[in-house]
Amino acid sequence: MKDFPWFKNYPASVGQEINPDSYKNVAEIIEESFNKFGNATAFVSMDKALSYSELDQQSKNFAAYLQGLGLKKGDKIALMMPNLLQYPIALFGAIRAGLIVVNTNPLYTVREMTHQFNDSGAETLVVLSNFAAGVEKALPNTKIKNVIITDIGDRLGGFKSVLVNFVVKYIKKLVPAYNIPHAVRFNTAMAKGASQNFTKPEISSEDLLFFQYTGGTTGVSKGAMLTNKNIVSNILQITEWMNPGLEVNKEVVITALPLYHIFALTVNCLSMLRMGAKNVLIANPRDMPGFIKDLKKYPFSVFTGVNTLFNGLLNQPDFLNLDFNHLKIAVGGGMAVQMAVAEKWKKTTGTALAEGYGLSETSPVLSCNPIDGTERIGTIGLPLPNTELTIMDEEGNELGIGERGEICARGPQVMKGYLNREDETKKVFHGDWFRTGDIGVKDEDGFFKIVDRKKDMILVSGFNVFPNEVEDEIAKHPKVLEVAAIGVPNEKSNEAVKVFIVKKDQSLTQEEIITHCKESLTGYKVPRHVEFIDELPKSNVGKILRRPLKEREEAKRKETETTS
């Protein structure tokens, strides 16, 4: 392997290479952990613990049930659940049966889920009853044959299971009426599987494991085809990177990001399983008081999230009073971590917020800040072992230190391509380099920094304005809770910067924002328009979405043109 500049900044205990062929498939890693960690707790949900041994047996039972339905290696199964014990049981069962898993956001509209089921070819679905009414509407237009429905409390056991399901359905009325006659209950499937035989399939490293759908924020949602080798590689890269800070079978990880999202799936679920960690599942992190109550119960050592989650917690007085003595690592990804948030996190918890970087197409992690105290806030860190990053121009020429261009990557974690979309696959590859669509720069030490999304760039009088930079500055204002910046049409300058702000302090004015920006931003970067808003549009993991704001502005502009 070449001697890359980033190697000199690797922590001493992190190797420069991993062996992607040390496991044939992800099932081998899962089963190794089951055998190694036995009675230790693997997952906790709503205070119910599931040990590695119990998860071994229950996932095997679920795999046997799926095989009993006639499912064979390579068949597709969609999982549509928040963070409950049912998710890892179903996930590991599907993986052990050699199926291709299609993670589906439970908040999808009928149109979105119909597209994903049809595009992926899924014929089996596991869904939480809270979302079954939408599934009922989608089913007639899909090829789904088998539907397995679960209730929130199904795996909590005994009276608690009955009580939780009663409260959710009849007191809180969170389960809209549905009618799917051929559906099977999750617990029924588990009981049937316990009396059936599981046959272990032959799974190769090149066999497909996930169709992981991109958020669709830049068009129709596309399925990234991830192989066993892609995921094995990323698990090994992540656990190698964690060497300096974490101990096997001693960590408690908080999983607030949904497991159907690639970040939590590979980092929290699979990599932490390999390390024998106790995984605390948070089903609804938007319920901040409830979330903080869970944090009080468990002496957590690993915390992953996105910028909005960290920011939201830091603005809860009860969070500031938690005991952070056990916290070793906090990792931010999914969107840019704002400097103001990273600084406040470190001041509050005493632990640095190490930003990492990746995409659905890269399994996901490409780079991360070191976790040995040498992190550089404001960067996405160093490429992981066996990973190359570079900066390229539009023609595919590599750029030098400090030059802005598109971040491109290659490594064993990079996807095979997009499902059913050869044309889209060709667009994102330059030779064997994957083009991320993110604009960045690299420094002489091998640290990379994201400047912005290529498609979100604002063009003001021929100058490029990166929304992240504007947002980062405004986020430092003590009266600002959240901010998003977009470009809007402007006769004189092509585009002008417009910002949408959620106030932390209701006394905040437009003038204060403009004055604040003039102190730290060049004139053409200063917002021409400031709009205060109650809530910013967000993805399922809390990533702020600029596209709906742009669409809203476009609709307003067209309406104005029509009436004038």
Which domain CATH number covers 499? 3.30.300.30
Give 417-453 as a DSSP string. EETT-HHHHHHHEETTEEEEEEEEEE-TTS-EEEEEE
Write down the residue that tokens 């809860």 correspond to: 316
Residue 537 domain-assigned (yes or no): yes
Which tens digit of pLDDT belongs to each residue from 49-93?
999 999 999 999 999 999 999 999 999 999 999 999 999 999 999
Report the alpha-carbon distance of residue 88 to residue 92 in Å, rounded: 6
Which single residue is written with the structure tokens 């072992």?
Answer: 385
Judged by average pLDDT, the poorest of 1-5, 257-261, 341-345 is 1-5
Among the listed residues 31, 25, 157, the one whose alpha carbon sits nearest the alpha carbon of residue 86:
157
DSSP 8-state class, residue 170: I
Contact 490, 462 (CB under 8 A): no
Of 116-125, 374-383, 400-409, 450-459, the least confident: 450-459
Residue 343 lies in a domain: no
Task: Provide the pLDDT for residue 200.
Answer: 97
Tell me the pLDDT tens digit for each residue of 468-481.
889 999 999 999 99
Range of the domain at 488: 457-563
Q: What is the pLDDT of residue 220?
A: 65
216 within some domain? no
* Location of structure tokens 């830091």: 314
What's the whole-number mean pLDDT along residues 428-454? 92
- What pLDDT is stored for residue 367 in this prediction? 98
Residue ranges of alpha helices (H) inside 299-375 are 307-314, 317-320, 339-349
Task: Tell me the pLDDT of the chain averaged across its residues.
Answer: 94
Q: Does residue 50 lie within any of the structural domains?
A: no
- For the cut 90, the answer to whether the pLDDT of residue 202 exceeds it is yes
pLDDT reported for residue 219: 52
pLDDT tens, residue by residue, 100-114? 999 998 988 888 899
Residue 471 in domain: yes
For the chain, percent helix, then strand, then coil, each to nearest 5?
35, 25, 40
What span, in angstroms and rounded, lies between the C-alpha atoms of 513 and 529?
10
Report the percentage of the chain scoring pLDDT > 70: 98
Does residue 158 belong to any structural domain of this protein?
no
Name the domain count of the chain: 1
| Assigned domain for 496 exists | yes
| 338 or 356, higher pLDDT | 356
Task: Quote the pLDDT of residue 260.
Answer: 93
Q: Which residue has the higher pLDDT, 491 or 125?
A: 125
How many residues appear in the chain?
564
- Of 254, 217, 281, which Cα lies nearest the Cα of 543? 217
Dihedral of CA atoms 535, 547, 469, 335 in degrees, nearest 10, equals 80
Contacts of 229 (CB under 8 A, 6+ apart): 20, 21, 205, 206, 412
Q: What is the pLDDT of residue 405?
A: 94
pTM of the model: 0.87
Q: Which amino acid is at 255?
A: T
| 106 preceded by a cis bond (ω within 30 of 0) | no
| Token pair belonging to 61 | 């039972």
Model confidence band, residue 345 (pLDDT cutoffs 50, 70, 90): very high
Q: Is the pLDDT of residue 154 over 50?
A: yes
pLDDT band per the 50, 70, 90 thresholds, residue 217: very low
Beta strands in 232-384 (DSSP E): 252-255, 278-281, 302-305, 329-332, 353-358, 365-368, 382-383
CB 203 within 8 A of CB 24: yes
* Cα–Cα distance, 226 to 363 (Å, whole number): 7
Q: What are phi and psi of 464, to 5 degrees?
A: -80, 130
**Secondary element (H or E) of residue 480:** strand 480-490
pLDDT reading at 212 higher than 80: yes
| Per-residue pLDDT at 563 | 74
3-state SS class at 360: helix
Q: Does the pLDDT value for residue 218 go beyond 50?
A: no
**Can you tell me the distance from the alpha carbon of 104 to that of 78, in angstroms, rounded to the nearest whole number?**
6
Does residue 225 lie within any of the structural domains?
Answer: no
Q: What percent of the chain has pLDDT over 90?
A: 85
